[in-house]
């Protein structure tokens, strides 16, 4: 939903990927949903990259059960947020422009409605880190929500890219570690 004007397919390094369009400032921020809003208990994995330089990069991320998990380019952080007034937590995460990273996000909600939102990122082609880069408890967690992808290109300057998006049930996910 909403991807037609926000993303285009481009060839990057010999493979076709989603690339954030830069044609209008009104579309500098895009959330595109790729599943049913009733989905729950899943893990989202995607390869992501931002153009930019050492001083300015765009933001790119995934959406999992109404939580936005973002690699914040200029700020060099990984952030979990949901309706900024409800929850917004970030930790330092160094990443480079023009380099692919694998981003993984998992949400678990217990029987009382408490959620644990976890995320990690690492350079594509390197081994997956054993632990999570960020774990955020949420007392009144979102019990469902559509998966998706996110891109924010401030001033429509630097494009972000998304490739190899996977959505897997938590029970079957390798992320259950």
Band (pLDDT 50/70/90 cuts) for residue 1 is low
Whether 15 shows a pLDDT value over 70: the answer reads: yes
pLDDT at position 29, please? 84
Give mean pLDDT, residues 106-129. 95
Residue 159 vs residues 35, 120, 134: alpha-carbon distances, Å: 24, 22, 25
Helix (H) or strand (E) holding 85: helix 83-86
Band (pLDDT 50/70/90 cuts) for residue 92 is very high
Band (pLDDT 50/70/90 cuts) for residue 24 is confident
Read off the pTM: 0.91
Residue 92, Cβ neighbours under 10 Å: how many? Answer: 11
Cα dihedral sign, 90-35-175-114: positive
Give mean pLDDT, residues 44-57. 93
Band (pLDDT 50/70/90 cuts) for residue 156 is confident
- Collapsing DSSP to helix, strand or coil, 144 comes out as coil
Whether 13 shows a pLDDT value over 80: the answer reads: yes
């Amino acid at each position: 939903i909403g991807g037609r004007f926000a993303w285009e397919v481009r060839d990057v390094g010999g493979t076709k990927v989603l690339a954030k369009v830069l044609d209008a400032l009104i579309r500098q921020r895009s959330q595109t949903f790729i599943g049913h809003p009733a989905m729950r208990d899943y893990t989202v994995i995607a390869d992501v990259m931002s153009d930019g330089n050492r001083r300015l990069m765009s933001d790119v991320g995934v959406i999992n059960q109404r939580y936005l998990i973002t690699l914040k380019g200029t700020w060099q952080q990984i952030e979990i947020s949901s309706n900024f007034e409800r929850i917004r937590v970030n930790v330092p995460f160094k990443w480079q422009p023009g380099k692919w990273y694998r981003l993984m996000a998992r949400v678990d909600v217990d029987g009382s409605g408490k959620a644990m939102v976890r995320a990690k990122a690492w350079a594509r082609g390197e081994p997956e880190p054993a632990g999570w880069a960020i774990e955020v408890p949420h007392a009144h967690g979102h019990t469902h929500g559509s998966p998706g992808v996110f891109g924010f290109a401030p001033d429509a300057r630097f494009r972000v890219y998304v490739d190899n998006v996977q959505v897997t049930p938590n029970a079957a996910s390798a992320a259950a570690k």
